[in-house]
């Protein structure tokens, strides 16, 4: 029988059966786990012994630090304490106030360290594809602009755990010193909050929950009545139509006569109009040359068109296919080019000014709020509005109010309507 021998390391024993040592499993060090903690109370001490009611007292406890697997000791001063039990009570209160044993503090300090810039990139990428309320490209574009212009240069290299009330206060101070408006500061601050709130754990809880103190951070109050909302007058609109090229003049007349958003107008096709062009169906919108759904579900709607403008649209849409306002290649017009054509008339206003003009026209004519909401594509505000939604299907009632309101401006200065205007004048005579 061969005698089993265990050789030394590196020893060779020919003719012998070698029985090696069994492999020892390497135990992986477990990471921090809240379930293995019972909630520390810390311990108290004084530099001298025995206990002295007039001597300085200190407390010690363990804390988690971002990026560290092992907890670190922290020592705090408790002042003078008459007894050890008083000192322990003070330390327990301090631990509770600081949230040392809380789940929120544990998650914030033990989560993998990530910079604000990295989390912002993840957040932006998730917005258009999320299942609940995907964000429109225009909104994503605006938030990305805020990040690139201001937020990331100031906060991008900070760890998420360091972006708190103090960091946001410093950021707001810099924006205010640069002369940004109150509305812009509020919008950019909201982007910071959204990025921080998007960092969640496996259960969907926020890793870095914040209770924002708007007084402390100096967040300005936006006064809506003081915001700049340019509109256009009836006289100014006539000057625009008289000096603009025919295609652009028709766009401006359509915007002012219906209250459409510019993206909705640029997405129109002949199939979106009724045969007499008295009803327009809003089904899509254009942003940066690409089709998308209208701004909100309420923006999918029917808009009644005054007779004079409808006659002009009938003439313009005859034998047309594709987009009504298209380039030579059939692509929809770019909003920037339409705005450039507007500014070429000498009126330095935005395209939304026509929508405000239509709203003022409807208010002057005392149009029922249900119709104003429908034509402008705004949301219903009360349960009563939902109950009365059947009125929107009453085409005769809508047509009556549309004819009563009219356009609110004259088309006499527009060359494309000279024939139509002359026909109306003959009828009136």
Q: Residue 279 has what pLDDT?
A: 94
Q: For residue range 270-316, what is the model confidence (pLDDT) as tens digits?
A: 999 999 999 999 999 999 888 998 988 889 999 999 999 999 999 99
Q: Residue 214 has what pLDDT?
A: 95
**DSSP letters along 246-288, please?**
HHHHHHHHHHHHH---HHHHHT--GGGB-TTS-EEEE--EEET
Q: Residue 14 has what pLDDT?
A: 56
275 shares its domain with 251? yes
Q: For residue range 333-353, what is the model confidence (pLDDT) as tens digits?
A: 999 999 999 999 999 999 999
In a domain, 177, yes or no: yes
Report whether pLDDT(16) > 90: no
DSSP classification of residue 200 = B
Q: Global pTM? A: 0.69
In a domain, 96, yes or no: yes
**For residue 257, what is the domain's CATH number?**
1.10.443.10
Name residue 281's beta-bridge partners.
Answer: 302
**For residue 217, what is the domain's CATH number?**
1.10.150
152 shares its domain with 177? yes
Counting the structural domains of the chain, the total is 3
Using the 3D structure, point to which of 86, 110, 134 is the last residue of a domain: 110
In a domain, 28, yes or no: no
218 shares its domain with 284? no
Report whether pLDDT(422) > 50: no
Q: 3-class SS at 306?
A: coil
Burial, 150: exposed, middle or buried (Cβ in 10 Å; 0-12, 13-18, 19+)?
buried
Give me the domain span that covers residue 74: 40-110
In a domain, 8, yes or no: no
363 shares its domain with 380? yes
379 shares its domain with 247? yes
27 confidence band (pLDDT: 50, 70, 90): low
List of residues 6+ apart from 361 with CB closer than 8 A: 405, 407, 408
In a domain, 3, yes or no: no
Q: 3-class SS at 95?
A: helix
List of residues 6+ apart from 348 with CB closer than 8 A: none
251 shares its domain with 385? yes
In a domain, 50, yes or no: yes
Q: Write out the two tokens for 405.
A: 């309101």
Using the 3D structure, point to which of 110, 137, 166 is the last residue of a domain: 110
């Amino acid at each position: 029988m061969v005698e089993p021998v265990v050789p030394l390391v590196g020893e060779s024993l020919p003719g012998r059966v070698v029985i090696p040592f069994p492999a020892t499993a390497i135990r992986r060090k477990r990471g921090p786990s809240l379930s293995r903690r019972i909630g520390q109370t810390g311990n108290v001490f004084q530099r001298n012994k025995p206990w002295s009611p007039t001597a300085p007292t200190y407390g010690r406890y363990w804390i988690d630090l971002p990026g560290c697997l092992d907890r670190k000791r922290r020592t705090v001063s408790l002042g003078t304490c008459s007894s050890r039990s008083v000192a322990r009570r003070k330390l327990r209160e301090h631990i509770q106030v600081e949230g040392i044993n809380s789940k929120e503090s544990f998650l914030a300090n033990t989560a993998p360290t990530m910079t604000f810039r990295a989390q912002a990139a993840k957040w932006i990428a998730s917005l258009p594809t999320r299942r609940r309320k995907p964000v429109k490209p225009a909104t994503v574009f605006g938030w990305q602009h805020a990040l690139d212009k201001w937020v990331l240069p100031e906060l991008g290299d900070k760890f998420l755990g360091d972006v708190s009330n103090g960091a946001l206060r410093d950021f707001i101070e810099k924006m205010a010193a640069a002369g940004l408006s109150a509305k812009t500061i509020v919008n950019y601050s909201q982007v910071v909050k959204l990025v921080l709130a998007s960092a969640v754990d496996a259960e969907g809880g926020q890793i870095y929950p914040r209770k924002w103190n708007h007084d402390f951070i100096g967040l300005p109050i936006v006064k809506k009545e003081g915001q700049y909302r340019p509109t256009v007058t009836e006289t100014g609109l006539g000057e625009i139509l008289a000096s603009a090229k025919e295609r652009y003049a028709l766009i401006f007349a359509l915007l002012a006569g219906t209250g459409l958003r510019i993206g909705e107008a640029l997405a129109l096709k002949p199939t979106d109009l009724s045969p007499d062009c008295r009803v327009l169906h809003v089904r899509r919108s254009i942003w940066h040359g690409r089709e998308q759904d209208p701004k909100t579900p309420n923006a999918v709607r029917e808009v009644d068109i005054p007779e004079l403008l409808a006659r002009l649209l009938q003439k313009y849409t005859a034998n047309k296919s594709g987009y009504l306002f298209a380039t030579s290649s059939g692509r929809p017009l770019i909003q920037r080019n339409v705005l450039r054509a507007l500014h070429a008339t000498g009126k330095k206003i935005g395209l939304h000014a026509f929508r405000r003009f239509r709203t003022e026209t409807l208010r002057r004519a005392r149009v029922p709020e249900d119709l104003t909401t429908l034509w402008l594509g705004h949301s219903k505000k009360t349960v009563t509005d939902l109950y009365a939604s059947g009125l929107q299907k009453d085409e005769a009632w809508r047509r009556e109010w549309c004819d009563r309101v009219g356009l609110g401006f004259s088309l006499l200065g527009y060359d494309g309507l000279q024939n139509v205007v002359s026909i109306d004048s003959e009828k009136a005579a």
